[in-house]
Amino acid sequence: MKKNLINFIATIIIALILSQFLPWWSVMLASFLTAIIFALKKSAVFYIPFLAIAVFWIVYAFWLSSSNDFTLSKKIAVLLPFQGNPYILILVTGIIGGLAAGIAAIFGKQCATLLKTKA
C-alpha cells in the first residue's frame, strides 16, 4: 500500500517537473520512470499512474478554467460532444491523461522486469 502511495506521489511530482519543459507526453515519461523506480504489482501497475495523472490533469484543468468561469471549456464542450458541460470535459481530460500514463507505466514495468532478470 505504501508503495502505491509513493508511486502515486512520485508520478505527479515527476510529471509536474517534466511538463515545465516537455510537451503533453511528459506524463507518459513520468509514469514510465516511476514504473521502473517504484515498481508496483498486478493491476496497480496501471491504475496508480492512471489515477495520479488523472488527478493531476483534473485538478490543473479545473484550477485554470474555474478562475475564468469556464468560458472556453464550455465552448470546447460543445465542440467535443459534451453538451457544453465543462465538468465532463475536465473528466475526459483526466481519463485521457490517465490512459496515456497507465499504458506507458505497463511498458515501464515490462522494462523493469526485463532489467531485473538480466541483473
Partner 1 sequence: MKYIKLVLSLLATIAIFYVLNTKLGDLPPLGKFLAPTEGIWQNETDDATSGIVSIDGLENEVTVHYDAQLIPHVFAKNDYDLYKAQGYITAKHRFWQMEFQTFAAAGRISEIIGEKGLEFDRAQRRKGMLFGAENSLEVIKNDPESLKYLEAYSDGVNAYISQLKPKDYPVEYKLLGYKPEAWNIDKTMHLLMYMTDMLCGKDYDLEYTNMLRKFGEERFNLLFPDFFDVNEPVIPKEQDWSFIDVEQTETPLSELPLDSISETMVKPHPNNGSNNWAVSPQKSSTGNAILANDPHLGLKLPAIWFVMQLNSPNQNVFGATLPGALGVIIGFNNDISWGVTNATRDVKDWYKIEFQDKSKQAYKYDNGWKKTSVRLEEIKIRGKETYIDSVIYTHHGPVSYDHTFKSDDEKKGFAMKWAGHKGHNFTELFLKLNKGKNYDDYLDAISNHVAPAQNFAFASTQGDIALWVQGEFANKWEGQGKFLLDGSDPEHDWQSFIPKEFNPHIKNPERGFVSSANQHPVDETYPFYVFNDGYETYRNRVINNYLRVRETVNIQDFKNLQNNNYNLKAKELIPFMLSHMETPALTKDEQLLLNHVRQWNFNTSLDNVGPSIWSTWIKHLYRMTWDEFDAKGEALTAPFMYQTIYMLKTHPNDPFMDIIDTPEKETAIDLFSLSFKAAAKELNEWKTENGDYEWRHYKGAYVGHLLQSLPAFSRFDIPVGGDRHTVNASGVNHGPSWRMIVEMSSPPKAVGIYPGGQSGNPGSVYYDNFINDWAAGNYYDLLFMQDENTTEGVTSTQTLTPKQ
17 is a contact residue toward partner 1 (CB under 8 A) = no
50 binds partner 1 (CB under 8 A): no
How far apart are alpha carbons 35 and 71 in whole angstroms?
37
- Interaction of residue 78 with partner 1, rule CB under 8 A: yes
Task: Select from 58, 46, 47, 49 the least CA-distant residue to 9.
Answer: 49
Copy the grid coordinates of residue 62. 479545473
Pick the stretch among 4-12, 36-44, 85-93 that binds partner 1 (CB under 8 A).
Answer: 85-93
Please tell me the number of Cα atoms within 13 Å of 12 on its side-chain side.
16
Q: Which residues bind partner 1 (CB under 8 A)?
A: 19, 23-28, 32, 57, 60-61, 64-65, 67-73, 75-76, 78-79, 89, 92-93, 96-97, 99-100, 103-104, 106-107, 109-111, 113-114, 117
